[in-house]
Amino acid sequence: MAIKHLKRNVQHTTHTFRSILESHQIEASAPCRIDMGGTLDISTFYYPLRHLSPCTVNMAIGLRTLVRLLPYEKGMVKISSKGFESAEYPLDEAPFNHPLGLMFAIATYFRAEGVHIDINSSSPPRSALGGSSAAAVALIGTFSYIFEQMNIKPLSSRQIALLAQAIEASVAGVPCGLQDQLAAVYGGVNAWYWQTDIGKPSFSKKTIVRKESFNDFKHHLLLAYCGVPHESKYINQKWTTQFLSGKNRELWAEIVACTQKFSEALTVKDFKDASILMNREMAIRRKMTPEVLDDTGEQLVSSAVENNCGARFTGAGGGGCIWALGEFEDIDKLKRIWERILSHRKDASLLDVKIDSKGLLSSAIG
């Protein structure tokens, strides 16, 4: 990223930001994702495993997070988001350890004072679908759009993804991956290969389901929200601590192999093999962290396996969502079973799994 160029943009934005917001409502949206092989997008894992060519598969879904910028009191930044209590602070006193700390950190990076950031997500709060990263991508997208309105070169898709991940990693207190930001920026169904050679890009993309197949592909998927917000931070910490101490590295090598073969199976629409590989990867994760599924998750996963489908938690699990893959007939049968299981828990439900092909979108209204 051209740091001097970006710094100049940020400084320039400070002077004209409010005048743009007073004449236009700036908004951007980005999709959430479901995934296979997550955690491998964290450098703690992919550097030592580089000889195995680790990859992560993710699918952007039509549960989008919309971010709007509105004018607000000079010197202040206010953030509103569904599922969280609204908060406002003077820009340079905004806390980054707040539940909305990532958004405050991005606003501070861009010197965005006198702004109300309104976040509206179509996914349940803390559902392990990468919603916070999608919000971060969308928020950066609004600032990039402002650059464009000022006749300043906007950030590239790659720059937006890398910046969103870098700011998140700087405030999260735990290692952070890149897959959520990439799905949010680019959309689609892709395998992301994590490059570790000096001088090469940090990731490369392989499209594994084409846009023209999305309508058919969605009939091979199910997505369930278990009704309980996820607590993936602690599970990720456990995986990382184990890995750093030398434990379970042979299991992570198996996860790499499962994800690679899953990508290959999905590319040729071999849903049977892809399901088997999902279940194998899931079994390995549960061996390392049995607490990754609660009782409802256990029922969803067991019923998927019994009906010839694959099932996996999204993100790092610990609540949130479970997704399934299989042949159309098996998924159709499983849907009725999952509906019955979910009916016994408040707020639990099936979610839409339409594949999103557009990724990050930005615009001005007014």
DSSP strands (E only) in the chain: 25-36, 55-71, 76-81, 87-90, 115-121, 189-194, 203-209, 221-225, 310-313, 321-325, 349-350, 361-365
17 pLDDT band (50/70/90 cuts)? Answer: confident
Distance between CA 204 and CA 194 in Å, rounded? 7
Q: What is the pLDDT of residue 316?
A: 85
Q: And the tokens for 106? A: 């991005």
Phi and psi torsions of 138, nearest 5°: -65, -40
Question: Are the CB atoms for 91 and 75 separated by under 8 Å?
Answer: yes
Q: What is the pLDDT of residue 209?
A: 97
Q: What is the pLDDT of residue 229?
A: 78
Q: Burial level of 166, CB count in 10 A (0-12/13-18/19+)?
A: middle
pTM over 0.95: no
For the domain made up of 3-209+356-365, give the CATH fold. Ribosomal Protein S5; domain 2 (3.30.230)
By percentage, how much of the chain surpasses pLDDT 90? 78
What interhelical angle do 131-149 and 179-186 show, nearest 10? 50
Mean pLDDT of 233-259: 94
Mean pLDDT of 264-291: 97
Q: What is the pLDDT of residue 344?
A: 94
Strands 321-325 and 310-313: antiparallel
pLDDT digits (tens, 9 = 90+) for 132-167: 999 999 999 999 998 888 888 889 999 999 999 999
The DSSP line for 256-267 is HHHHHHHHHHHH
Which of 134-138, 184-188, 231-235, 356-360 shows the lowest per-residue confidence on average (mean pLDDT)? 231-235
Distance between CA 254 and CA 140 in Å, rounded? 36
| Closest to 180 measured CA to CA, from 232, 220, 238 | 232
Q: Where are the domains of the chain?
A: 3-209+356-365, 212-350
2 pLDDT band (50/70/90 cuts)? Answer: very low
For the domain made up of 212-350, give the CATH fold. Alpha-Beta Plaits (3.30.70)
H or E, element range at 146 = helix 131-149
Distance between CA 102 and CA 81 in Å, rounded? 12
233 pLDDT band (50/70/90 cuts)? Answer: low
